[in-house]
Amino acid sequence: MTVTHTPINNRHFILRTTAQVNSSHPLPLATYQPPPNLLANKVVLITGAGGGIGKSAATACAAHGANVILHGPSLKPLEQVYDSIEESGYPTPAIYVLNLERATPEDYLGLANRLGDYAWYYDNSNSKTHPVGEKLPNAWGLYDVHGNVREWCQDRWHAAD
C-alpha cells in the first residue's frame, strides 16, 4: 500500500492511498454484511458523487444511515444523486459543488469552515464543550449530533490520549 498526502496548511491535508490486491486469494471481507445503521449519525463527504463509484458510495453510505455530503465539480449530476437518495427514504444529503482540479487551498478551507457551521470538533472547539444550539441544526432540526460532547467520548476503536 502506498500513502501520499498533500498539505493544505499545517492542520489539513489531502490523503490518497493506493493498494494492490492479490486476486488469487479471495478477500474474507467479500462475505461481510454491514448492519443497516452502521453509519447512523455520521457525516460522510463523497467526492465525485455525481456518477460512477462516487454515486454508488454515496448511495451505500446513505443506505447505512450516513448524512452524506455530495461533492463534485457540477451541480446537475449531484442533484440527480440527491433526488435518488431522497426518493429511497435515506437521510437527506447535502450538496457541495467544487472542482478539485482547479481548487485552491482557500477553497478547501472554505469547505472545512462550512462543515464547522454544523458541528463542534477538535479544530474549532478550543478543547471544551459548548452549549447545545450554537451551531446550525441538521435536516431533522437536531443540534450537535455530529460533534461537541460526542467528540470527547471514547469507544473501543479510539485510544485515550
Q: Which of 93, 153, 142, 90 is nearest to 119 (CA)?
A: 142
Mean pLDDT of 115-131: 77
- The whole-angstrom separation of Cα 64 and Cα 21 is 26
- The whole-angstrom separation of Cα 75 and Cα 10 is 31
Instruction: Tell whether the model's pLDDT for residue 40 goes beyond 80.
Output: yes
**Please, what sign has the CA dihedral across residues 15, 16, 20, 25?**
positive
Going by pLDDT thresholds of 50, 70 and 90, the confidence category of residue 18 is low
- The whole-angstrom separation of Cα 116 and Cα 95 is 15
pTM of the model: 0.56
Mean pLDDT of 46-60: 92
More confident residue, 156 or 98: 98
pLDDT in tens, 70-110: 999 999 999 999 999 999 999 889 888 888 888 888 888 88
More confident residue, 40 or 140: 40
- Pick the most confident of 26-30, 85-89, 114-118: 85-89
pLDDT at 77: 95
Which residue has cell 502506498?
2
With vertex at residue 71, the alpha carbon angle to CA 67 and CA 74, rounded to the nearest 5 degrees, is 140
Beta bridge partners of 96: 71
Neighbours of 105 (CB within 10 A): 12
